[in-house]
Amino acid sequence: MSLPAVERTLIVVKPDAVARGLVGEIIGRFERRGLKPVEIKMQTVSKAKATQFYIVHKDKPFFGDLVSFISSGPSVGVVLEGRDAIALVRRVIGSTKSWEAAPGTIRGDFATGLLDNAIHASDSKESFDWESKTYFS
């Protein structure tokens, strides 16, 4: 069996998790799974940047709430590198909806709602390219 390719993906520790002092805990979970942080940035994103970052959701009814929440305080973006990184990170973070996220996943352990779900992660190579370019701009 051949090993999966080395990929990069982006995670963003959201303002709820930063405010609760969970940055180290969350990044540490990825490091312990063998994923390497290769870029990191802490910032309070502007509403303009948040609008670009979440542009795929622009027609959703919750778009305004999403933009307000992600720009409500400091967040931490990390580019992670490792084998099968995009899919692996999605498994480690768990389901979007806090009440569905399995215990042991990041959201299953820390998310408290739909918006305040602790973490965002790219769901494809295309999302990673767009989101990392936007977050690190």
Catalytic residues: 120
Q: Is 18 in the site for ligand CMP (CB under 6 A)?
A: no
Please tell me whether residue 96 binds ligand CMP under the rule CB under 6 A: yes
- Alpha-carbon distances of 29 from 24, 36, 71, 88, 99, rounded to whole Å: 9, 11, 24, 12, 21
Distance of CA 84 to the CA centre of its chain: 16
| Residue 66 binds to ligand CMP (criterion: CB under 6 A) | yes
In the complex, least distance from residue 45 CB atom to ligand CMP, rounded to whole angstroms? 12
Q: What do you get for the CA distance between the two ends of the chain, in Å?
A: 39
Give yes or no for residue 136 binding ligand CMP (CB under 6 A).
Answer: no
Pick the binder of ligand CMP from 120, 128, 132, 134 (CB under 6 A): 120
- Residue 16's CB: how many other CB atoms inside 10 A? 21
The whole-angstrom separation of Cα 54 and Cα 91 is 21
Nearer Cβ to ligand CMP (2/115): 115
Min dist CB 117 to ligand CMP, Å, is 5
Nearer to ligand CMP, 35 or 53 (CB): 53
DSSP reduced 3-state for 8: strand
For ligand CMP (CB under 6 A), the number of binding residues is: 9
Return all residues near 137 (Cβ < 8 A) that are at least 6 apart: 49
Residues that bind ligand CMP (CB under 6 A): 57, 62, 65-66, 96, 114-115, 117, 120
